[in-house]
Structure 1
Amino acid sequence: MKERWVLLRKGADFAGIGERFHISPRLACLIRNRDITGDKNIESYLYGTIADLEDGMLMRDMDRAVEILMEKVREGAGIRVIGDYDIDGVCATYILLEGLKGLGAVVDTDIPDRIADGYGLNRHLIDRAFEAGTDTIVTCDNGIAAAEEIAFARELGMTVVVTDHHEVPFDEVDGGKRYRLPPADAVVDPKRADCPYPFKGLCGAAVAYKLMEALYESMGRDSSDIDYLMEEVAFATVGDVMDLTGENRIFVRQGLEMLQSTTNPGLRALMECTGIDRKSVGTYHIGFVLGPCLNASGRLDTAKRALSLLAAESKKEADLLAGDLKALNDSRKEMTEEAVREAVEQVENTASGRQRVLVLYLPGCHESLAGIVAGRVRERYCRPAFVITDSGEEGLAKGSGRSIEAYHMYEELNKCRDLFVRFGGHRLAAGLTLEKKNIEKFRQDINAVCTLTETDMTEKVSIDMQMPFSCVTEELLEELKLLEPFGKGNTKPVFAEKNVSVVSCRLIGKNRNMLRFRLRDGGGTDMDAVYFGDAGEFLEEVEAKYGRAVREGFFEGGYRRIRLSVTYYPGVNEYMGRKTMQIVMTHYQIV
């Protein structure tokens, strides 16, 4: 896929910023490239702490939610927390459960089964709560789109408090939006149009944490008693792929620090089981190792297992649950690879693969994997992708979508809302249920209203700065740590150098499908480089540019013929106790 390289050129007084904040002008430039401007925002970005978090009572209806829960806790009324089956929903459920138990509340939990119940509140869950004698339902990471179900719960005499972070459903009226809030006793969601809370990007677990923090303070308890729950806020923020900006950056930085010395038996067992050193746990480990294990239980079994892991009280129990979750995730990986192969085959060989919005029907794909497969398809083709699978309900299909930055998936689905039994989501991800007979019509209609251009669907590589290899030093690496944690919305800086010659090259990796180079820049500085992409694709491009002979003799010296432009991130190679600087190549152009 052809890429579009763009060198960022955002101006500022980098020397002055560097002097005021005791950083290099280069780091000041990287911060400006992340649209962090003004001394107050720069200070918060570099050194923000939990003391800088906004008061949760600023959220619309937070005062009402606190008032209700104070009364229910003091009365000893039964409270049921109803979460969701993904990492955010599980962590939010655990936060509310722990927080309410700490106040002496009579509280239990329920989490929907992905297959039997589907997403969010439904009548099964409400019936179960009513039969159990529940007085008050508190939702987390769901509820904002459950107007009918909440009305039903209210008719049964139950109190309902909604905490959520998803988009509020709306109708388009005269070119504007008319929002539809559910008829709950309190609706706490920073995405409410009338919510004055300044940071809108919180995950469901963070909203739940804000509620517990406000409740503790209102009941005369020190909210620092629940600081330890920021570990779960960090887990959920990274695992739910929220932007690591503003308050999320503070939550994740603080949570990662806490995870290094966590006393939670479940989290300790999961890190041990997956071979992660607690002292070096980072966003990568949550996003690609630990988080998928928690998500796997909700995908292939029940998310209640993941909740049990977080709530485990003994090492023995935690070790057993962690092992089960890792095994489930290993199984999930195999099933995912098979489904991705089928999806790619469909894109490459059918008419639907030539459309701007990819709608792929994979009846044999486990419905819990649809979102992962859609994400992989989106990454490969840089187009919005929906993967639709068979539902357990007669005549119905379920789908998950993953989007690109230029395409607001929830708003686009809203244009086709009459085709769906139900749907929900936000800018970059969505879920839907529809009748099987409407799949083809959905494919055509969603593309008919699509306004994406070729530029929108071309991967853009944003380069922070051109930097010669001589600048890659341990001092630079140490300073770059000030920009962490990295993730969505705060990605690792991208450096670039052009007209680089290849001094040596060899295949590496278990499957011999990655490359290790020795590169030399225009200033004569040599640097080791690793490329974790597909070596086969690289060699195909070499052949297209220089011919078959150069490709066939590439590792015997043919590499000396080529020149590269590369994007990279600095790193350290540690081998047999010896440390040397290296770069990790992220993209390349053969020149």
Structure 2
Amino acid sequence: MIHRKTRWALAEWKESEEGAAKQLCERLSLPPLVARLLVQRGYRDEESARRFLQADAADLHDPYLLSGMEAAVHRIRKAAERGEKIRIYGDYDADGVSSTSLLVHVFRKLGLQFDYYIPHRALEGYGLNNNAIDLAASEGVQLIVTVDTGISAYEQVEYAKTLGIDIVVTDHHEPPEKLPDACAVVNPKQEHCAYPFKGLAGVGVAFKLATALLEQPPLELTDIVCLGTIADLMPLTDENRILVRCGLEKLRKDAGCGFRALAEAAGIELPSIVSTGVAFGMAPRINAAGRLDHARRAVELLTTDDYDDAMLAAIHLDTLNKERQRIVDTIVKEAEEQWLSKRLAAEEAGEDPPAVIVLGGEDWNVGVIGIVASKLLERHYKPVIIFGIDKETGMCKGSARSIDGFDLHAALTECEELLDHYGGHQAAAGMSLHRDNLPMLERRMSELAMNWLKEEDWIPKTLVDIACGLEDATLETISQLALLEPFGVANPSPRLLFQHVQLADKRAIGKEAKHLKLALGSGRKLLDGIGFGMGEMAAVMPQGCRIDVIGELSINEWNNQRKAQLQLHDLHYEPAPLTAFPTREQFGQVYQMLRRLGEAPERGLAARLSEHIGLTVDAVQLMLDVFEELKFIGLSNGMYITAAAPEKRELASSERYRSAKEKHDRLHALA
């Protein structure tokens, strides 16, 4: 038996939606599976579905619908007329780097007198700070334009005024109750802002400012917008979908020298890049600059026109990313050791381990603790808070990640008397406090988790889009699923459920047989499945059995052949109850067949023997499992080998035999 690793949550599908899906099939010439997915994601009529599938730059919203845009453009143009020095003030993450880089390109094009500034993560922290404003004043800056930051900088904006510096704020984070009294504040999330799309990244807001300044959308810069939007986990709907799609097309066909150098350093094939290549290939290297060095290294890469300079910068970022990975691995190992010690201590005391994982280390780099928290959450599926502790002051900077159902921000609010600062949302948060308060924070957060979460909340959940059949897994349908791209937040790659499909073949593949290769179906209609890290499951499932699988469809190209493939996320196999339990004579008959064979490939053996003896594949597989347990046969390198002189043992001495017999007898008695 193979149990599900997660709770499978199949999205509700109403019979009333069949009509809408059928209409989309007919009017847009779509396969049924694609049409059903569109309806399920809210695109029920032809107009909304067509807009989702075909929207382009002409469908971008007017930038002047953003509150504050007119004032922002007026102040920047005024600075241009007066020859004032402007400073772009960004953030050190990939969105901030992208926002800064985009405005560098735009201000160059406009011929403005400007430079840029990004605070150092470890030395200055997030956002505008007075020391940076002092530096700007000393260097003759008269206007600061913030990107991806500034919405909470009320006091800093007031301080800048005393030094004669005006500030234009462009941001996308949640606004506080008291907004900065700046020359202009551009943020679609302001309550009074009627902009029709609230999900722009910081770089998206910067792009709207650029559009207004240039009086047309700078589509040649959408590769930068694509990077920041994907890296900042913004919803890939509405305008973001258009901008990311345009950006991916730019990367495939006409990438700038910075992106070409980054792709070469990262081993990314630009002509075929998709959103995951940006998310897992490019974004980590851009982020590595701000985590371990200074984010201006990444801005230099994205703004240079010299390929040699770009290549040097890309190699530097790649090296930083490798170092970041090494540091993360080290901290994860140390954190796991700490967590094991806590669990053992709780066990010795006869208590449950903490419901929230709270760990810290004096030499843990605060630039990567969020990644560490994510890795521990994935392994243990508990809310996690990881702290870097200052040895001298005892102050701790923490980064938290949560599971569904546990609101980190609400929990931290309940513990705010223990904290110096905190902020975030349901799934992720940051905080600072003194190390003396760590034990109490762990205790309070764990109590809240136990009170707020139900038993099922502690089991990870897999959201499944649709249950479908193998007949849906055609090359044509999979090709048309690409119409739903780019995939990402709010528009994930479809997860499909195939129920009770026949297992035609299975084997463990790869180094140390770590991965699982399946053939699903019967006859000539087979679907390949690949499960990374699932290799041990090959020995559990008999060929010919029925299984349930969840995965994503893709096209595998090999030796000029294209085949449908299902990348497995999870599977479930439970042996069917035996309607007729094998008799001792049948056990003996199969054993004699095995002795005559001497050795035989595991793959397909149960199915072949079942044809000879007239029992089901599951019944014959039970016999093989019992014989293996009793050491009548052995399994080595995919071959069953019959023992030359096995020790004589009763069938009933096999736990597998007894368990199956008891289950059969119990079901038979109930019938």
Please confirm whether the aligned pair reaches a TM-score higher than 0.5, indicating the same fold: yes
Q: Name the aligned partner's letter for residue 528 of structure 1.
A: D
The alpha carbon displacement at 1:391 in A equals 4.2
Cα separation, 1, equivalents of 2:461 and 2:102 = 38
TM-superposition CA deviations, 1:391-415 (whole Å, max 9, x none): 4873321112233454444454344
Cα separation, 2, equivalents of 1:190 and 1:459 = 33
CA gap 1:440/1:37 in 2 versus in 1, 3 angstroms: farther
Is residue 248 of structure 1 aligned with residue 240 of structure 2? yes
- Judge which range, 258-267 or 399-408, deviates more: 399-408
CA gap 1:479/1:126 in 2 versus in 1, 3 angstroms: same
The alpha carbon displacement at 1:449 in A equals 4.7
**For residue 273 of structure 2, what is the aligned residue in structure 1?**
281
Corresponding residue to 1:575 among 552, 555, 558: 558
**For residue 520 of structure 1, what is the aligned residue in structure 2?**
521
**For residue 586 of structure 1, what is the aligned residue in structure 2?**
569
Is residue 323 of structure 1 aligned with residue 306 of structure 2? no
Where in structure 2 are the equivalents of 1:136-147 lying within 5 Å?
136-147=143-154
Contact 2:92–2:287 at 8 Å: present in 1 too?
A: yes
**For residue 377 of structure 1, what is the aligned residue in structure 2?**
376
CA gap 1:473/1:387 in 2 versus in 1, 3 angstroms: same
CA gap 1:263/1:570 in 2 versus in 1, 3 angstroms: closer
Contact 1:91–1:205 at 8 Å: present in 2 too?
A: yes
Cα separation, 1, equivalents of 2:393 and 2:53 = 54
The alpha carbon displacement at 1:534 in A equals 4.3
- TM-score, length of structure 1 as denominator length: 0.88
Where in structure 2 are the equivalents of 1:83-98 lying within 5 Å?
83-98=90-105
Contact 1:165–1:202 at 8 Å: present in 2 too?
A: yes
**For residue 437 of structure 2, what is the aligned residue in structure 1?**
438
**For residue 10 of structure 2, what is the aligned residue in structure 1?**
7
Contact 2:83–2:113 at 8 Å: present in 1 too?
A: yes
Q: Name the aligned partner's letter for residue 123 of structure 2.
A: A
Gap regions ≥5 residues in structure 2: 347-351, 575-671
CA gap 1:192/1:410 in 2 versus in 1, 3 angstroms: farther
Q: Name the aligned partner's letter for residue 363 of structure 1.
A: E
**For residue 176 of structure 1, what is the aligned residue in structure 2?**
none
Is residue 565 of structure 1 aligned with residue 552 of structure 2? no
Contact 1:164–1:207 at 8 Å: present in 2 too?
A: yes
- Let me know the Cα RMSD of the aligned residues: 2.5
Q: Name the aligned partner's letter for residue 462 of structure 1.
A: L
The alpha carbon displacement at 1:121 in A equals 1.6
Contact 2:127–2:150 at 8 Å: present in 1 too?
A: yes
- Judge which range, 488-497 or 442-451, deviates more: 442-451
- TM-score, length of structure 2 as denominator length: 0.78
**For residue 81 of structure 2, what is the aligned residue in structure 1?**
74
The alpha carbon displacement at 1:561 in A equals 8.0
CA gap 1:38/1:361 in 2 versus in 1, 3 angstroms: farther
CA gap 1:435/1:38 in 2 versus in 1, 3 angstroms: farther
Cα separation, 2, equivalents of 1:195 and 1:392 = 45
Where in structure 2 are the equivalents of 1:49-198 lying within 5 Å?
49-169=56-176, 179-198=177-196
Is residue 478 of structure 1 aligned with residue 482 of structure 2? no
Cα separation, 1, equivalents of 2:548 and 2:299 = 47
TM-superposition CA deviations, 1:180-232 (whole Å, max 9, x none): 22333322222222222121111111011111212223xxxxx24x2211111
Contact 1:231–1:256 at 8 Å: present in 2 too?
A: yes
Q: Name the aligned partner's letter for residue 15 of structure 1.
A: K
CA gap 1:301/1:459 in 2 versus in 1, 3 angstroms: same
Where in structure 2 are the equivalents of 1:436-515 lying within 5 Å?
436-450=435-449, 451-515=452-516
Cα separation, 2, equivalents of 1:129 and 1:103 = 21
Where in structure 2 are the equivalents of 1:175-324 lying within 5 Å?
179-217=177-215, 223-224=216-217, 226-324=218-316
TM-superposition CA deviations, 1:107-132 (whole Å, max 9, x none): 10111111111112222322221221
The alpha carbon displacement at 1:315 in A equals 1.1
Cα separation, 2, equivalents of 1:117 and 1:441 = 28
The alpha carbon displacement at 1:240 in A equals 1.1
CA gap 1:200/1:459 in 2 versus in 1, 3 angstroms: same
**For residue 173 of structure 1, what is the aligned residue in structure 2?**
none
Cα separation, 2, equivalents of 1:407 and 1:138 = 37
Cα separation, 2, equivalents of 1:271 and 1:207 = 26
Q: Name the aligned partner's letter for residue 566 of structure 2.
A: I
**For residue 542 of structure 1, what is the aligned residue in structure 2?**
none
Contact 1:367–1:391 at 8 Å: present in 2 too?
A: no
Cα separation, 1, equivalents of 2:81 and 2:245 = 35
Cα separation, 2, equivalents of 1:258 and 1:527 = 34
Q: Name the aligned partner's letter for residue 561 of structure 2.
A: R
Contact 2:33–2:477 at 8 Å: present in 1 too?
A: no
Cα separation, 1, equivalents of 2:500 and 2:178 = 56
**For residue 174 of structure 1, what is the aligned residue in structure 2?**
none
- Judge which range, 400-409 or 183-192, deviates more: 400-409
Q: Name the aligned partner's letter for residue 80 of structure 1.
A: R
Cα separation, 1, equivalents of 2:257 and 2:546 = 52
TM-superposition CA deviations, 1:285-304 (whole Å, max 9, x none): 11111111111111111111
- Judge which range, 368-377 or 333-342, deviates more: 333-342
Q: Name the aligned partner's letter for residue 181 of structure 1.
A: L
SS of the equivalent of 1:167 reads coil
Q: Name the aligned partner's letter for residue 386 of structure 1.
A: I
Corresponding residue to 1:46 among 49, 53, 60: 53
Cα separation, 2, equivalents of 1:405 and 1:21 = 37
SS of the equivalent of 2:528 reads strand
Cα separation, 2, equivalents of 1:426 and 1:67 = 34
**For residue 604 of structure 2, what is the aligned residue in structure 1?**
none
The alpha carbon displacement at 1:322 in A equals 0.9
Cα separation, 1, equivalents of 2:134 and 2:512 = 53
Cα separation, 2, equivalents of 1:78 and 1:140 = 17
The alpha carbon displacement at 1:589 in A equals 1.4
Q: Name the aligned partner's letter for residue 3 of structure 1.
A: T
Contact 1:421–1:434 at 8 Å: present in 2 too?
A: yes
Count matched residues: 558
TM-superposition CA deviations, 1:330-369 (whole Å, max 9, x none): 1211222222233344445526994444333243321111
Contact 1:167–1:426 at 8 Å: present in 2 too?
A: no
Q: Name the aligned partner's letter for residue 286 of structure 1.
A: V
CA gap 1:201/1:410 in 2 versus in 1, 3 angstroms: farther
TM-superposition CA deviations, 1:242-279 (whole Å, max 9, x none): 12122211111111011112342111111122222221
CA gap 1:350/1:46 in 2 versus in 1, 3 angstroms: same
CA gap 1:493/1:102 in 2 versus in 1, 3 angstroms: same
Where in structure 2 are the equivalents of 1:395-414 lying within 5 Å?
395-414=394-413
- Judge which range, 248-257 or 363-372, deviates more: 363-372
Cα separation, 2, equivalents of 1:304 and 1:428 = 29
Cα separation, 1, equivalents of 2:32 and 2:53 = 14
Contact 1:347–1:354 at 8 Å: present in 2 too?
A: no
- Judge which range, 137-146 or 495-504, deviates more: 495-504
Gap regions ≥5 residues in structure 1: 170-178, 218-222, 540-550
Q: Name the aligned partner's letter for residue 485 of structure 1.
A: P
SS of the equivalent of 2:487 reads coil
- Judge which range, 359-368 or 345-354, deviates more: 345-354
